[in-house]
């Protein structure tokens, strides 16, 4: 009798334990979600011209990887920027068709005669998602957070580092990204709806780089700013327990976040864009973003009709296309993408800590001869890579700028068509000779080198394999090294002990000056020989000068002239040997209306105007 009772009690206890475990997974929220007040339409609302739709549909999509924070000052991940970009907004934005800088939170701006002062006029009557007014104070506050100095606790003076630079209180990407030649731009509030920036010198990309900063809400974050906890705000803990504390000006607010599972956005009831009938947008009621770990599972989810919008990897296009009828979606070829793939030789003349040269001197001699690099470039079968690796879903890349950036792309640069004869002619000019189909240099040493690339990128591994075969046709032995990404970064930016490397770059800001760290000889990402104290070669010196001009001129045609020359020099010298640029493919579910995809803006650039019949 007693035993039976004991057993029942044990079972009951176990059941209760399991139930508490389950409910432990959804810990109750500390306070109730406040209801967002809906304020009258702003004076300076923006009317968008798309046919009127129906409100209330939910949109589902995937996010690549989990987020680590919702704080734009801390975020380093792509997933994080996508999420933050849905919530926060900036003064200016880019036109999805021609890529020009167009008004956003600022309705207009003036640039002074001397090109130093930028005066932005903000839209009046806009409210943050929690109903608080948006004013120039928020803009000034945002910039204050970038440049606030760390103060000595005893003396109260600004602290300096060993090189006499100020020590900043919050080390964010914007802090250092917005410095112009080491100096801070000044920001001042003229009135509640006007804000003026003064740059220390003429700096052409400021309109886009400075105006593109996401604006932070002063009324929410100023206490944290003062007590030093700004970087700890808007963490995933806030997103889980009190998502309403993350307020923004963009079309959505955070509704809930479950680590590793999903992020739900709700419509911002105080958004400042309206449709033709003067009704407040967006049409979408909720966006449900499922967190996935890689591109393939994201593509699978779309191909099974589970998500509404998706960019499809080139190697997945074929099988995703098969589901078009069954799951009623459309797959579009958007032309060339911003991604580039290239390889380069280590031109660093230095020695390692033991005094040994980083690259063997005789190899260094080959690599630093531009004819050698040109010969290699002629020897690469780029069409073969496109056919064999990308199944025709890529384009030949001739130079630094992807043809997608039509405006900045220089068509007239030197191109290296696939021709082993031309390669061999260049080698002959250098005094190299062939013996038993192997290439030997002028000192009778066999030509061979190693090429490293990151092992986790399957397409790049295949490209490297094609490259090895192409080089074998030239009589050159290439040893391939497939390494961990961190190892590659360490080798290319710290130890410099490698011979050649193949990597790629993604998007990046659309202004050519964004590439200054790659192109200028002192740059940290000047792959082939970074952080030079003084330009090592005359052509690098010329590029440095041209890039300075690109930064200094505000007339876009003059800038283009200078940047064309940069591209021409790069093509002639081949420090980076460009390979191919994959195409962009996007898919969207056919239940959505007002879809007008553009190569620059993709399919969701007009997300506020997209609508579907609610299910």
Partner 1 sequence: MISFILRRLMTLIPLLLGITMLAFILMSLAPGDFLTPVKAQRDVSVELIQAIESEFGLDQPWYIQYYKWLGNVLQGNLGHSWAYKLPVSELIGQRIWATFLLSFSSLIFSWMIAIPLGVLAAIYKDSIFDRISAGLAYAALSIPEFFLALILVFFAAQTGLFPLGGATSIDYEYMSFGGKLLDRAHHLILPTLALGIGSIASIMRIMRANFIDTIRGGFVITARSKGVRESVVMFKHVLRNAINPLISAFGFALSGLLSGALMVEIVLQYPGLGQLMYQSILREDQFVVLASVMLGCSMLVFGNLLADILLAWSDPRIRLERKN
Chain centre distance of CA 184: 24
User: What is d(CA 158, CA 146) in angstroms, rounded to the nearest whole number?
Assistant: 15
Residue 47 makes CB contacts below 8 A (sequence gap 6+) with 273, 274, 275, 276, 278
For residues 289 to 308, the per-residue mask of contacts with partner 1, x marking binding by CB under 8 A and - elsewhere, is -x-xx---x--x--------
What are the Cα distances from residue 124, in Å, to 105, 192, 280?
9, 9, 16
Cis peptide leading into residue 468 (ω within 30°): no
Within positions 342 to 401, which residues make up the interface with partner 1, using CB under 8 A?
Answer: none
User: Hey, which residues between 456 and 485 contact partner 1 (CB under 8 A)?
Assistant: 484-485
Contact between 152 and partner 1 (CB under 8 A)? no
Interactions with partner 1, residue window 84-143 (CB under 8 A): none
Facing residues of 6 across strands? Answer: none
CB of residue 274 vs partner 1: minimum separation in angstroms?
A: 29
CB of 73 to partner 1, least distance (A): 10
Piece of 185-193, 288-296, 546-554, 583-591 that binds partner 1 (CB under 8 A): 288-296
Q: How far is the CB of 69 from partner 1 (least distance, A)?
A: 6
Nearer to partner 1 by Cβ, of 481 and 606: the residue is 481
Residue 446 pairs with which residues in a beta bridge?
440
Nearer to partner 1, 235 or 420 (CB): 235
State both tokens at 74. Answer: 């801390």
Sign of CA pseudo-dihedral 465, 470, 473, 479: negative
Which residue has tokens 């956005």? 265
Question: Two tokens at 385?
Answer: 């890579």
Of positions 508, 556, 572, 590, contacts partner 1 by CB under 8 A: 508
479 and 449 Cβ atoms separated by less than 8 Å: yes
The residue behind tokens 């008004």 is: 103
Q: b/e per residue, 351-379, with b = 16+ CB within 10 A?
A: eeeeeeebbeeebbebbbeebbbbbbbbb
* Binder among 119, 133, 175, 455 for partner 1 (CB under 8 A): 175
Q: How many residues bind partner 1 (CB under 8 A)?
A: 61
Residues between 544 and 603 that touch partner 1 (CB under 8 A): none
Using the rule CB under 8 A, which residue among 95, 98, 232, 328 binds partner 1? 232
Out of 1, 5, 25, 533, point to the residue binding partner 1 (CB under 8 A): 25
Site string for partner 1, 239-268 (x = CB under 8 A): -x---------------x-xxxxx-x----
Q: Which of 457, 490, 549, 598 is close enough to bind partner 1 by CB under 8 A?
A: 490
Minimum distance from CB of 521 to partner 1 (Å)? Answer: 14
Report the alpha-carbon distance of residue 615 to residue 353 in Å, rounded: 66
DSSP codes of every residue in 390-443: TTT-EEE--SSS-TTSTTT--TTS------HHHHHHHHHHTT-EEETTEEE-TT
Cα 394 to Cα 462: distance, rounded to the nearest angstrom: 14
Cβ 427 to partner 1 shortest distance, Å? 33
Q: Does 509 bind partner 1 (CB under 8 A)?
A: yes
As to burial, measured by CB atoms within 10 angstroms (0-12 exposed, 13-18 middle, 19+ buried), residue 390 is buried
Are 579 and 463 within 8 A, CB to CB? Answer: yes
Please give the Cα distance from 611 to 58 (Å, whole number). Answer: 9
Pick the closer one to partner 1 by CB: 21 or 277: 21
Q: Find the part of the chain contacting partner 1 (CB under 8 A) among 339-347, 395-403, 511-519, 583-591.
A: 511-519
Asked if residue 489 binds partner 1 (CB under 8 A), the reply is: yes
The only residue of 29, 33, 149, 165 in contact with partner 1, by rule CB under 8 A: 165
Q: How far is the CB of 172 from partner 1 (least distance, A)?
A: 8
- The answer to whether 18 contacts partner 1 (rule: CB under 8 A) is yes
One character per residue 39-68, x = contact with partner 1 (rule: CB under 8 A): ---------------------x-----x-x
Q: Does 24 bind partner 1 (CB under 8 A)?
A: yes
Rg, the chain, Cα only:
28
Report the DSSP beta bridge partners of residue 166: 160
Among 69, 145, 338, 377, binds partner 1 (CB under 8 A): 69
Contact between 26 and partner 1 per CB under 8 A: yes
The answer to whether 53 and 275 have CB atoms below 8 angstroms apart is yes
At its nearest, how many Å lie between partner 1 and the CB of residue 442? Answer: 36
Q: Length of the chain in residues, anyone?
A: 615
- For the purposes of burial, counting CB atoms within 10 Å of the CB of 198, is it exposed (0-12), middle (13-18) or buried (19 or more)? middle
Does 525 bind partner 1 (CB under 8 A)? Our answer is yes
**Contacting partner 1 (CB under 8 A), which of 236, 334, 536, 568?**
236
Residue 140 CB, nearest distance to partner 1 (Å)? 22
Residue ranges binding partner 1 (CB under 8 A):
14, 18-19, 21-22, 24-26, 60, 66, 68-69, 71, 74, 76, 165, 167-168, 171-173, 175-177, 179, 231-232, 235-237, 240, 256, 258-262, 264, 288, 290, 292-293, 297, 300, 484-487, 489-490, 493, 505, 508-509, 514-515, 517-518, 524-525, 531
């Amino acid at each position: 009798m007693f035993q039976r009772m004991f057993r029942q009690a044990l079972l009951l206890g176990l059941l209760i334990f399991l139930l508490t475990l389950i409910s432990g997974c959804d810990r109750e929220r500390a306070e109730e979600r406040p209801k967002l007040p809906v304020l009258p339409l702003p004076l300076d609302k923006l009317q968008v011209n798309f046919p009127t739709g129906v409100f209330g549909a939910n949109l589902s999509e995937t996010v690549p990887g989990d987020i680590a924070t919702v704080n734009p000052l801390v975020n380093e991940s792509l997933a994080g920027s996508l999420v933050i970009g849905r919530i926060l907004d900036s003064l200016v934005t880019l036109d999805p068709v021609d890529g020009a800088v167009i008004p956003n939170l600022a309705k207009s701006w003036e640039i002074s005669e001397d090109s130093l002062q930028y005066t932005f006029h903000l839209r009046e009557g806009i409210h943050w998602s929690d109903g608080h007014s948006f004013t120039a104070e928020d803009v000034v506050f945002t910039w204050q957070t970038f440049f606030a100095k760390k103060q000595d606790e005893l003396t109260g003076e600004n602290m300096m580092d060993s090189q006499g630079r100020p020590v900043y209180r919050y080390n964010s990407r914007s802090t250092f990204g917005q410095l112009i030649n080491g100096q801070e731009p000044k920001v001042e509030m003229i009135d509640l709806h006007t804000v003026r920036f003064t740059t220390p010198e003429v700096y052409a990309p400021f309109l886009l780089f400075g105006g593109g900063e996401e604006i932070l809400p002063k009324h929410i974050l100023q206490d944290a700013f003062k007590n030093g906890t700004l970087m700890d705000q808007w963490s995933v803990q806030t997103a889980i327990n009190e998502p309403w504390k993350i307020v923004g000006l963009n079309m959505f607010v955070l509704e809930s976040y479950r680590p590793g599972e999903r992020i739900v956005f709700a419509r911002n009831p105080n958004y400042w864009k309206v449709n033709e009938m003067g009704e407040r947008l967006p049409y979408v009621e909720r966006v449900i973003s499922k967190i996935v770990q890689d591109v393939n599972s994201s593509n699978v989810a779309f191909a099974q009709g589970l998500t509404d919008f998706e960019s499809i990897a080139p190697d997945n296009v074929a099988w995703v296309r098969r589901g078009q009828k069954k799951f009623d979606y459309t797959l579009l070829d958007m032309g060339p993408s911003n991604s580039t793939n290239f390889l380069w030789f280590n031109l660093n003349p230095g020695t390692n800590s033991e005094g040994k040269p980083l690259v063997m001197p005789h190899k260094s001699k080959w690599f630093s001869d531009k004819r050698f690099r040109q010969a290699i470039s002629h020897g690469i079968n780029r069409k073969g890579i496109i056919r064999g690796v990308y199944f025709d879903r890529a384009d030949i890349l001739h130079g630094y700028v992807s043809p997608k950036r039509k405006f900045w792309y220089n068509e007239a640069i030197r191109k290296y068509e696939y021709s082993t004869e031309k390669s061999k002619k260049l080698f002959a000019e250098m005094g190299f000779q062939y013996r038993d189909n192997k290439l030997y240099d002028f000192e009778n040493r066999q030509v061979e080198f190693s090429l490293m690339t990151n092992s986790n990128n399957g397409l790049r591994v295949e490209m490297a394999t094609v490259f090895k075969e192409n080089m074998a046709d030239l009589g050159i032995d290439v040893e391939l090294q497939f390494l961990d990404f961190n190892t590659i970064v360490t080798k290319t930016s710290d130890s410099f002990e490698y011979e050649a490397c193949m990597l790629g770059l993604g998007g990046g800001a659309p202004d050519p000056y964004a590439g200054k760290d790659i192109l200028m000889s002192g740059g940290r990402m000047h792959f082939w020989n970074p952080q030079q104290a003084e330009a090592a070669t005359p052509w690098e010196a010329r590029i440095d000068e041209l890039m300075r001009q690109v930064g200094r001129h505000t007339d876009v045609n003059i800038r283009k002239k200078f940047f064309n020359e940069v591209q021409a020099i790069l093509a002639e010298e081949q420090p980076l040997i460009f390979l191919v640029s994959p195409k962009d493919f996007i898919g969207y579910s056919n239940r959505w209306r007002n879809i007008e995809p553009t190569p620059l803006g993709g399919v969701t650039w007009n997300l506020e105007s997209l609508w579907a019949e609610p299910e």
